[in-house]
Structure 1
Amino acid sequence: MNNQISKLADISGASTRIIAGLMSGTSLDGLDIALCQFSGSGFETQVKVLHFVTFPYRQEFKEQLKSVSFKAQVSLQEVTLLNAVIGTYSAELILEALKLWDFPVDGVDLIASHGQTIFHAPFSLHQQLAYPDATLQIGDGDHIAVKTGIITLSDFRQKHIAAGGEGAPLAVYGDYLLLSSVEENRILLNIGGISNFTYLPAGRHADLVFSTDVGPGNTMMDQFVQLHYPGKYYDEDAAIAKKGKVNDALVAALLNNEFFDDPFPRTTGPELFNMTYLQAAQKASSQQGLPPEDILASLCEFTARSIVAAISSSIGDRPFEIYLSGGGMHNPLLTEKLSAGLGIKLKNTADLGIDPDAKEAVLFALLANECLAGGDTNFGSRQGIPSVTMGKISLP
């Protein structure tokens, strides 16, 4: 037997596994690395986050990513080159993190890399009958495996699509296994570049679990800040938006899109929600001359209303608790609007034992753990949640 295959089998059968989960989202701001210790699988999964760090991307690297991300037409050469570059860069950051934590490289069993999404194309977006749902993440797993010497799992979203899903959101799998409750109805709301939530009804009934993208999270606010406030990447503490006034006509135009009428579950990305979308809404509402702070306040209101509407229309009057994660939870104006709109005090996943900033990286580590040590969990028959194991394996 190939030594690496033998090692893979040993990791699969071990009582514990050390897995480094990697996540870089649509905000293109950096790489999250969560070093996790796993035991068991399925509902028997136990996870301990040993270390967590976020490495901000260099400005020149961000610009490279932006040049190929969320656009219908880009340089194929640049995509090909960045596929290798991102893989190698991710490996370098993993090694840097392990050095920072004084953790031995050979003590890590697996790396679980989400990769960098550069285009998400569900049918609802591309509308071409001859083509299926599709998505593309780059950052080659083989480069990570060879550079680090660690078995790497990557490209998780392709199996989801192949099995009938839309490639997103994938958080439902980890949310269900790690964070569902026998007694409490829970909503796990993640506000990254795009917002999504998982509804976990009390009792862990798989067929009642529900997960969907909602619409924009931080993406349009961040894009606007980067365009109009040089040197800033986001509106820290909503300082700019708090100075502005919400323009209801603009908010109404932003909400006037057939995406918001699509049935749940649905998925989307910055391919739709971007500055072109904003400009069209400004034109439709005759609000082209608004001060920047008013536009930012209106974008925050737009994000909040879309989240509130999605949760209210899909969950109804059932009681629930909300647990936040993602960068949007640090926006005090947005969380204030969400709490008021939903009439509930917001919590975060720290209350459930998972650092909310590390949550997505942890959940991809969990997908790798399920791929090797699990695979038997029934996630129900709900549309968009196929019961499959995900991740392509790259050997060093």
Structure 2
Amino acid sequence: MNKGFSRLFEIVNKEKRTIIGLMSGTSLDGLDIALCDFTGSGTTTQVTLREFATVPYSKEFKDKVKAVFSKRQVDLENVCLMNAYIGSFHAELINNCLQQWNIKPQEVDVIASHGQTIYHAPVSLHKLDGMPDATLQIGDGDHMAVKTGIVTLSDFRQKHIAAGGEGAPLAVYGDYLLFSEQGQNRIMLNIGGIANFTFLPGDLDTSKIFSTDVGPGNTLMDAYVQAKFPGKYYDAEATIASEGTCNNALLTALLDHSFFDQGFPKTTGPELFNLAYLEQAQKRSGTEALSPSDVMATLNRFSATGISDALTKALKEECFEIFLSGGGMHNPLLIQHLKEMLPGVPLRNTSELGVAPDAKEAVLFATLANECLFGELIDFGAGQKSVPSVHMGKISLPE
């Protein structure tokens, strides 16, 4: 038997698997690396987070990604080069972490790599007749497998689209397996560049589960800070926004888009919610002269409003508790807004459920890899177009 397949066969027959989950989001903060131990699969999945690190990206790396990120027209040679470069670079970061953790590559069974999203194009956004939903993540899995010596699963979102989904959000699968609880309706709210949530019904009926994007989390705030405050990448502790005042005219213009009227589930990205979107809203509302702090205060409120409105519309009279993750949970003004808009709804974080909130997305992709190699298909019901019953991930062998 081929040596690579022999190793894969050995892995899929192990009782306990060690899997590294990787996540690099649209905020471009850095690479999340989660070293996890798994036993079981499906509803018997048990995961232990052994090590976690977020390796910050340098300005040079961020600039390279931004040159091909969320643009309709880019240099194709640059996209080609960055696909290989990111795969090799992420492999280097993994090797460095393993060395720091005193763990040999041979002790790791699988890497689960999200890759770096550079464009997300659901039909609802591109609106081109005859063209399908599509998304593109770069950071080649073969480069990662060869340079680490570890079997690598990558490119998870393509299978989701092929099976009838939109490629996002994918958190619903891991959320269901790791965080569902009999008798408690749970909202797993992730506030990354784009905010999304998964609804986990307390009766454990998989046909009721859904996951949806709701609009911008940090992406517009981060982009505005980077444009107006050189050297800053985000509004740490909401310092800038807290100095300003929300402008209702601009807030109304920002919320005036058909995306917010679409039913659930739905998906979006920085391809829509970007600085051009803000500029158009300012022109329509006559607020071009607003101070940067007032704009930031309004953008902060905009993110909170999109999240709270979506939860209210989607769940109506349902009682639920919210478990937070993602960079936005560290924004005190954003969290303050959510508490005001969702009175009586407990806001907790996933550390109470055994997974550090900053590590959650990386752990979820490790869970997808565990399911791909060891799990049976989960039936989410025939009506769940956005949650197809499918295994995801392309396998790259080191040899």
TM-score (normalised: structure 1): 0.99
Amino acid at match of 1:103: I
In structure 1, distance between residues paired with 2:266 and 2:342? 21
Q: CA deviation at 1:379?
A: 2.5
Matches within 5 A, 1:197-216: 197-216=197-216
Q: Please state how far the C-alpha of 1:317 moved relative to its aligned partner.
A: 1.2
Q: Whole-Å Cα distance in 2 between the matches of residues 114 and 102 of structure 1? A: 24
1:180 and 2:180 correspond: yes
How many angstroms apart in 2 are the aligned matches of 1:277 and 1:82?
27
Q: Distance in 2 between matches of 1:204 and 1:10?
A: 33
1:117-132 pair list within 5 angstroms? 117-132=117-132
Q: What do you get for the CA RMSD once the two structures are aligned?
A: 0.7
Shift of residue 10 of structure 1? 1.5
Residue 342 of structure 1 and its aligned partner are, at CA, apart by 1.0
TM-fit CA distance, 1:383 = 2.3
Instruction: Identify which of 382, 387, 390 aligns with 1:388.
Output: 390
Q: Percent sequence identity over matched residues? A: 60
Once residues 383 and 162 of structure 1 are traced to their aligned partners in structure 2, the CA distance between those partners, rounded to angstroms, is 11
- The 2-side partners of 1:9 and 1:215 are apart by 42
Q: Can you list the C-alpha shifts for 1:120-147, whole angstroms capped at 9, x where unaligned?
A: 0000110001100000000000000000
Q: How many angstroms does 1:82 deviate by?
A: 0.2
Task: Please show how residues 66-105 of structure 1 align to structure 2 within 5 Å.
Answer: 66-105=66-105
What is the aligned partner in structure 1 of residue 373 from structure 2? 372
Instruction: Trace 1:145-294 onto structure 2 (pairs within 5 A).
Output: 145-294=145-294
Measure how far apart 1:64 and its partner are. 0.5
Q: What is the CA–CA distance in structure 1 between the aligned matches of 2:313 and 2:241, rounded to whole Å? A: 27
How far 1:377 moved relative to its partner?
2.0
In the TM superposition, 1:270-349 aligns within 5 A as 270-343=270-343, 344-349=345-350
Match of 2:352 in 1: 351
Q: Deviations over 1:185-240 (max 9, x none)?
A: 00000000000000000021100001100010000000000111111100001011
Cα distance in 1 for partners of 2:84, 2:271 equals 23
Deviations 1:312-351 (A, max 9, x none): 0000111100000000000000011011101123101111
SS of the residue 2:168 aligns to: coil
Secondary structure at the aligned position of 1:68 is classed as coil
- Aligned residue identity for 1:97: C
Conserved in 2, the CA contact under 8 Å of 1:375 and 1:388? no
Aligned length, in residue pairs:
396
Quote the Cα distance in structure 1 between the aligned partners of 2:230 and 2:175.
37
Would you say the 8 A contact 1:265–1:383 is kept in 2? no
Gaps of at least 5 residues in structure 1 are none
Three-state SS of the structure 2 residue aligned to 1:297 is helix
Aligned residue type for 1:32:
D
For residues 1-20 of structure 1, the aligned pairs below 5 Å read 1-20=1-20
Q: Compute the TM-score of the two structures, normalised by the length of structure 2.
A: 0.98
Q: Whole-Å Cα distance in 2 between the matches of residues 380 and 347 of structure 1? A: 29
In structure 2, runs of 5+ residues without a counterpart are none
* Alpha-carbon distance in structure 2 between the residues aligned to 1:266 and 1:234: 26
Amino acid at match of 2:291: P
